[in-house]
A and B are shown apart, each in its own frame.
Chain A
Amino acid sequence: MSIKGKAYLVGAYEHPTRKAGDKSVAQLHAEVAKGALEDAGLTKQDVDGYFCAGDAPGLGPLSMADYMGLRLRHMESTDTGGSSYLIHVAHAAQAIAAGKCNVALVTLAGRPRSEGSSGTQPRNWGAAAPDGPFEAPYGIVTANSYAMVAMRHMHEYGTTSEQLAWIKVAASHHAQHNPHAMLREVVTVKDVLDSPVIADPLHRLDCCVVSDGGGALIVARPEIARSLKRPLVKLIGAGESPQGQAGGKLSLTTSGAAWSGAAAFEEAGVKPADIQYASIYDSFTITVLVQIEDLGFCAKGEGGKFVADGNLISGGGRLPFNTDGGGLCNNHPANRGGMTKVIEAVRQLRGEAHPKVQVKNCGLALAQGTGGQLATRHGSATLIFERE
């Protein structure tokens, strides 16, 4: 059974905060839920399905359904790190198509900035993680994990730091128009290359921000979507794929997006060249480059040339991306950037992005996420939406 056309994205809300030391994580989840419901024109009583991931406190859906006073008949807590929320949208569409719920709420929130999180700290996945004993002693952190992908990509394909820098430059061009963005200053390739090296070959400006905040989405069945006074954003394709170390037979330059993207395009019945706007997970510049190749926007190894010279900047570039400024400039709530990828794609399809970055007559958009760590194990998720 395909989910094509079975569900619509009827509500989306991004928390305006970037530092929320005065709020609890549960409170942030509830605030974004309220925001998304108001955006959709629905109430809490309409929600019968709820989706959250590892950032939700306590027992996830149980704790948050209780906090928010939700009466549910469907819940799910798939956790693939930052891509979880794209998978939640796809699974919400499946649940709606199967008659398990009518209105699904997806929430994300966290306070890594207030809690002092950084990409050079080890992440702890628990003592029972089978891979942990073979990784933790070596000091794998977020930054050097993605840096190893960049190093290998440069080795195999001649990708340069200048080309990677163009991804940050494009994001900064968009962020200047976003009053909520953490970094609104337009930067140049030179600025990126002059920023300190964090993990060879990645510079500080190749890395995303650490921010507090969150976001929420409402997915609803077609009849409900049509009864609301919002532009119709229809889910037409979805794919998901975990990728790990393959028992040591590694290929770090290809991500799970090669599989999740192909599945989403096949279901949607469209091609990469048809996509007018793309939200691409941007934990680091290299993350964007690898996913752009794996989604088929260009051939493998051609990503450096594809992203250079402003080709990701809305208005002139061939693939406008992350027009909110993305994780590189805007925010990366809970260290999980998938939610905001979906939110900006919805804004673009509704024509509600900032006028300076709005893609003209945006009718087809893609959102792409990778969660976990690119160089060890990650979950890729791809969504394709159509404006009806």
Chain B
Amino acid sequence: MNYQDRKIPPPTVNPENKAFFDAAAQGKLLIRKCNACGEHHHYPRSLCPYCFSDQTEWRDAKGSGTIYTYSVLRRGVPVPYCIAYVTLDEGVSMLTNIVDCDLDAVKIGMKVKVLFKPTDGGPPVPMFTPA
């Protein structure tokens, strides 16, 4: 089954996550890194969820990763879509969609790269497609 575009609900932008979605509008994927413990995390927070330091900052992510798990929702929705966790090359996994491909060919372990899809009245959001 080939990917079909669907109406994507917009993210709720707030002061803490605004930079992430501003970057997404520029076609850039940001990731949060803690300068105290050196760990990346996602979703992004101002306080590091590992060491609780407030010395966290935005970094450009490479935008590539591997599918950790996925599922195509086939019933009860207007258009089937593929939800997934993608483990970024930086080591953390993010919830996303796999798009612009044959959804029946998606597999765990597949290499993917980021792209951005428009939302219904909000900023675009990062999604992934086979690399």
Contacts and interface: CB of A to CB of B under 8 A. Distances in A.
Interface of A: 118-122, 127-128, 130-141, 143-144, 147-152, 155, 196-202, 204, 245-250, 252, 375-376
B23 interface: no
Contact of A200 (B6, B41, B74): B74
A139 B76 CA distance: 12
A151 B69 contact: yes
30 contacts: A120-B77, A122-B9, A130-B16, A131-B43, A132-B12, A133-B21, A134-B95, A136-B9, A137-B122, A138-B96, A139-B6, A139-B8, A140-B83, A140-B95, A143-B76, A148-B69, A149-B69, A197-B74, A198-B74, A198-B76, A202-B71, A204-B75, A245-B43, A247-B45, A247-B49, A247-B50, A248-B91, A250-B87, A250-B93, A252-B69
Contacts of B43: 130-131, 133-134, 245, 248
B108 A151 contact: yes
Contact of A248 (B17, B42, B81, B108): B42
Contacts of A151: 69-71, 108
B57 to A, nearest CB: 15
Interface residues of B, number: 48
B92 interface: yes
Contacts of A141: 73
Nearest to A250: B93
B119 interface: yes
Given A247-B92, A248-B42, A250-B85, A137 B73 contact: no
Given A133-B11, A247-B42, A249-B92, A148 B84 contact: yes
A120 B76 contact: yes
B18 to A, nearest CB: 10
Contacts of A134: 11, 17, 42-43, 94-95
